[in-house]
Amino acid sequence: MTNLFEQFHGADLARLTECLTAIRKAGLSVDQDTDAGVNQYSGNVWVFNPSWAGCVYCSIGFDIRWQWTCCNCGEEYEFETYREMEDFAQEQNEKTDWSACEVCFETEAA
């Protein structure tokens, strides 16, 4: 088992706390499938669970955002609330019978 405090300390731990607060406010929960980390390029702290529509992250400036990533092309979309992200993800999935974004949909249609 990995020690949580080996990965998160200082401001990263504070950002993780912000993510957990956002998760709770969205009515979601964490379980054994939940993963978290620090993006080494941006410094964002993220939390993801495969049962959610996407992930939540907290920026270096302590801004909370929800992010949906297209499984097909990797295009990333940001939202202020989980509900907005969930609605967007559902719309994308309704456009095709595979999980794709509007960029993929436009490419396939061309």
For CA atoms 63, 68, 74, 77, give the dihedral sign. negative
Delimit the domains of the chain by residue range. Answer: 4-109
For 14-39, what is the mean pLDDT? 96
Per DSSP, the residues of 59-71 read -TT--EEEEEE-T
Angle at 51 between CA 35 and CA 36, to 5 degrees: 10
pLDDT of residue 98: 59
Can you read off the two tokens belonging to residue 32? 């054994």
Higher pLDDT among residues 70 and 12, named by residue: 12
pLDDT of residue 107: 59
Name the 3-class secondary structure at 56.
strand
pLDDT of residue 105: 64
Query: What is the pTM assigned to this prediction?
Result: 0.87
**pLDDT digits 0-9 by tens, 30-89:** 999 999 999 999 999 999 999 999 999 999 999 999 999 988 888 899 999 999 999 998
Which runs of E-coded beta strand occur in the chain? 35-38, 45-48, 55-58, 64-69, 76-79
Can you read off the two tokens belonging to residue 100? 């794709």
